[in-house]
Amino acid sequence: MQGLIDVFANLLGTGPTLSMVLAYFVCIHSLIGFITIYAMFAIWMERKVAAHIQVRLGPMETGGWHGWAQSPADALKLLFKEDLIPAGANKFLFWIAPALVFCGVFTGFIVVPFAEGIQIVDLELGVFFIVAIASVEVIGVIMAGWSSNSKYSLFGAVREAAQVVSYELPSATALLPPVLIVGSLTLGDFNTFQAEHGWLILHNPFMPIAALIFFISSLAGCKRAPFDLPEAESELVSGFHTEYSGMRFSFFGLEEFVSMFLVSAVTATLFFGGYTLPFDLLSIGAAPDVSLFDWLSGHAELGQVDILGSLTHLAGPAVFIVKVFVFIFIQMWLRWTLPRLRVDQVMVLGYKFLLPWALFTVVGTALFEGLGWGWCSHS
Amino acid sequence: MGSVRDYFASIGNGLGSAVKGMGVTLRHLTQEDTITLLYPHERREMPPTYRGLHILEQDKCIDCGLCAKACPVDCIEIEAEHHGRVLEWAKFTIDYKKCIFCELCIPPCPVKCIHMTSEYELATDSPDTMAEDLLTWTGLRREDQEKLEGKAKPKPAAPAASGGGGDLQSRVAAMLAKKKAEKGED
């Protein structure tokens, strides 16, 4: 971030405030662009994965090659659809709910570390920030269901409210073991620690359990099957977004895929080494001593720029996104494998299974760390 | 429920069945052949006994009207003027709004000139065009006209006003040729 501010200050000769505004503007908008393109790809991928699991083909016509243009075409269609507000709906809440839902997950993205320094802000409370900001989405969902003036929407919202307690506890608790090991909540620290000591999932025998618990409860966090109770299309039409249409509806769809990316990014960063590879190859993702930004911001000559270092630095986001997509694929795979749980089964899973085991991993990790034991690659 | 053993067994069951299910879906995911037929590009091979749109071998037809009489829903309409054995055609339509594809019109034909094809695309733009004209020509053929010469006032031969569009007509013609070839083999 600071690098980008310096670049603007140097190239445009703007003052510190204007440079900062410009830098944030560029960052946020490139993030929005990335999210939009990612979501379109993910929707296409979801349809393809679903189709092939059911021995179908999925979209094949639009755009030629395997229907790649299906999602942009759908997005265009949704833009032109009429924006309906049901009679008797609370107009203000109905209007603001999709924005709140989307902003909740979108804000989480500002701390996602794509590579060392390729991150909008590295908050000191990064992990806590993501967990907290992702919960804002729940308020939007309940708002949407409540304001729709429809019994199906309200059922969906109430289910979300009931579900949120049972998955937020284990998901936040399962994030504690990695935090205990690294001793920091800053997401950047997780990457530097894992670049040095190896992936946290292999750090002690409790970490795979913690990773599994976080993965399962993050599925519920994204409202994805088998925890898609608030949507439950076979029971509640479409749950909390039954009454939505057009662009407002697409925000809920976008939110689902964006939060899939967010929780997968957290899983990848906290348990699977972030942008680092399991073997030390050219220290991928690590920032070079003298980067292109340093030249652009006038801190260094062009000749001093570490070209190879810059290239391996830019390979970091690629590695990170590949890891994230592995988790997104597993989420899709699970969605088309497992049937939806009942409300009480979600509660039982959350309170009787996930939460005790998450606490068990916290205690176990604390013991391991306290006694100075390591499982593998611990120095 | 309740005992400690049940608790741990249910964890094993849950994880085990999820993994097993994911194995099944992975097998389907990686399987090469799908059940999808890319319909407008690919067509399913219909069985030889399939009862689709009709075709008429007009040069064989003697305008006896037995097919129309056999039809339980009265969907066949035939009109032709007889000049001795020469026919001056006016109409041979099947109204597919009424037709029930029962095939009862086929066996009564004394000259075996009406057949059912495996053509199943019946959709048209409007109900007015659902009555399919089976004639390949109306009026008199040139050779018939020459045969009659002055006996009757001959009308000039005109191409049939087709009901369903040239595409269907050409497909039906191809199907007729195929059916003839099959009969030749028999």
pLDDT in tens, chain B (186 residues): 568 888 888 888 888 998 998 998 888 888 878 888 888 888 888 888 888 888 888 888 888 888 888 999 988 888 888 877 788 888 888 888 888 988 898 899 898 888 888 888 888 888 887 877 888 777 777 777 776 666 555 555 555 544 444 555 666 677 777 766 765 554
Ranges of residues in chain A whose predicted pLDDT is under 50: 376-379
Q: Which residue of A has its CA nearest to B33?
A: A55
The residue among B102, B100, B137 whose CA lies nearest residue B122 is B100
| Ordered DSSP codes for A78-105 | HHHS-----TT--HHHHHHHHHHHHHHH
Q: Which residue of A has its CA nearest to B38?
A: A60
Residue by residue, what is the 3-state secondary structure of A157-174?
A: HHHHHHHHHHHHHHHHHH
The pLDDT, as a whole number, for residue B180 is 66
**Is B24 near chain A, with CB under 8 Å?**
yes
Cα–Cα distance measured from residue A283 to residue A280, given in angstroms and rounded to the nearest whole number: 6
Give the position of tokens 């997950």.
A105
The pLDDT, as a whole number, for residue A203 is 80
Which ipTM value was assigned to this complex? 0.71
Nearest Cα of chain A lies from the Cα of B34 at a distance, in angstroms, of: 5
For residue A353, the chain B residues in CB contact (below 8 A) are: 11, 14
Q: Is the dihedral of CA A262, A263, A269, A275 positive or negative?
A: negative
Q: Which residues pair with B92 in a beta bridge?
A: B78
Q: Which residue of A has its CA nearest to B30?
A: A52
Token digits of residue B119: 């053509």
CB atoms within 10 A of CB B101: 14
**Is A345 near chain B, with CB under 8 Å?**
no
Cα–Cα distance measured from residue A32 to residue A26, given in angstroms and rounded to the nearest whole number: 10
Contact A174, A361 (CB under 8 A): yes
Contact A357, A213 (CB under 8 A): yes
Cα–Cα distance measured from residue A252 to residue A104, given in angstroms and rounded to the nearest whole number: 11
The residue among A333, A50, A57 whose CA lies nearest residue B34 is A57
**Is A50 near chain B, with CB under 8 Å?**
no
**Is A49 near chain B, with CB under 8 Å?**
yes
Instruction: Tell me which residues of chain B, numbers 34 to 63, contact chain A at a CB-CB cutoff of 8 Å.
Output: 34-36, 38
Nearest to B38 among A60, A334, A338 (CB): A60
Contact A263, A370 (CB under 8 A): no
0.90 surpassed by pTM:
no
The pLDDT, as a whole number, for residue A374 is 60
Token digits of residue A313: 């630095």
